[in-house]
Chains A and B, each alone.
Chain A
Amino acid sequence: MIVPFILWMLAFFVVPITLVLFVSLMSKGIYGGIDYTFTLENYLRFLDPIYLHILGKSLFISGFVTLLCLLFGYPFAYLVARSPKKYRNLLLFLVIIPFWMNSLIRTYAWIVLLRTEGVINTLLMQFGWANQPLALLYHDGAVLIGLVYTLFPFMVLPLYTSIEKLDATHLEAANDLGASPWRTFWNITLPLTFPGIVAGSLLVFMPSLGLFFIPDLMGGGKAMYIGNLIKNQFLAARDWPFGAAASVILLGLTFGFIYFYKKVSKNRPESEVL
Chain B
Amino acid sequence: MNVRWTRLLSGFYMALIISLLFLPILVLVVFSFNDSKLNAVWMGFTTEWYGKILLNRSILESAKNSLLVAFLSTLIATAIGTLAGVAMYRYRLRAKSVLDALVYLPLVIPEIVMGISLLALFALLKIPLGLFTLVVAHVTFSVPLAIVIIRARLHGFDRSIEEAALDLGATEWQTFRHIILPRIMPGVAVSALLAFTLSIDDVIVSFFVAGPGSTTLPLKILSMVKFGVSPEINALSTVMLVMTIGIVLVAERIRLRRNQD
Question: Contact residues of A with B, CB < 8 Å?
Answer: 1-2, 4-6, 8-9, 12-17, 19-20, 23, 72, 75-76, 79-80, 83, 89, 91, 93-98, 100-106, 108-113, 115, 117-119, 121-122, 149, 152-153, 202-203, 206-207, 209-213, 216-217, 227, 230-231, 234, 240, 243-244, 247, 250-251, 254, 257-258, 274
Contact = CB atoms under 8 A, between A and B. Distances in A.
Contact of B140 (A9, A121, A216): A9
Contacts of A111: 225, 229
Interface string B15-50: 001101110110110010000001111000000000
Interface in B108-136: 108-114, 116-121, 124, 136
Interface of B: 10, 13-14, 17-18, 20-22, 24-25, 27-28, 31, 38-41, 79-81, 83-84, 86-88, 90-91, 93, 99, 102, 104-106, 108-114, 116-121, 124, 136-137, 139-140, 143, 147, 194, 197, 201, 203-204, 207-208, 218, 221-222, 225-226, 229, 233-234, 237, 240-241, 244-245, 247-248, 252, 256
A115 B228 CA distance: 10
A136 to B, nearest CB: 13
A16 B80 contact: no
Nearest to B112: A210
A212 B109 CA distance: 15
Contacts of B221: 104-105, 108
A251 B106 CA distance: 11
A19 B17 contact: no
Contacts of B121: 12, 15-16, 19
A96 B203 contact: no
Max count, chain A CB within 10 A of own CB: residue among B113, B139, B147, B244: B113
A104 B222 contact: yes
Nearest to B77: A8
Sorted from nearest, which 6 A-B pairs have the closest CB atoms?
A: A210-B110, A16-B117, A5-B84, A210-B112, A1-B87, A109-B24
B14 A13 contact: no
Max count, chain B CB within 10 A of own CB: residue among A89, A102, A113: A102
A76 B5 CA distance: 17
Contact of A101 (B110, B117, B244, B256): B244
B180 to A, nearest CB: 11
B117 A122 contact: no
B102 A247 contact: no
Nearest to A73: B17
A121 B81 CA distance: 48
Contacts of B240: 102, 105
A63 B93 CA distance: 38
A189 to B, nearest CB: 15
A121 B38 CA distance: 13
B229 A112 contact: yes
A98 B84 contact: no
15 contacts: A1-B90, A8-B140, A12-B121, A13-B106, A105-B28, A109-B24, A112-B24, A119-B27, A119-B39, A119-B40, A210-B112, A210-B113, A210-B204, A234-B208, A244-B120
A118 B119 CA distance: 37
Contact of A206 (B88, B93, B108): B108
Contacts of B38: 117
B231 to A, nearest CB: 10
Contacts of A113: 24, 27
B248 A1 contact: no
A97 B110 contact: no
A90 B102 CA distance: 33
Contacts of B207: 213, 231
B237 to A, nearest CB: 4
Contact of A20 (B28, B111, B117, B234): B117
Nearest to A5: B84
Contacts of B244: 97, 100-102
A23 B120 contact: yes
B49 to A, nearest CB: 13
Nearest to B197: A100
Contacts of B91: 2
B87 A98 contact: no
A23 B201 CA distance: 29
Given A100-B244, A109-B25, A202-B108, 13 more contacts: A5-B83, A13-B102, A13-B140, A19-B124, A94-B21, A104-B225, A108-B233, A115-B229, A118-B229, A149-B24, A212-B112, A230-B112, A258-B108
Nearest to B14: A79
B99 A250 contact: no
Nearest to A217: B225
Max count, chain A CB within 10 A of own CB: residue among B13, B17, B106: B17
A167 B28 CA distance: 41
Given A9-B102, A13-B140, A105-B240, A75 B119 contact: no
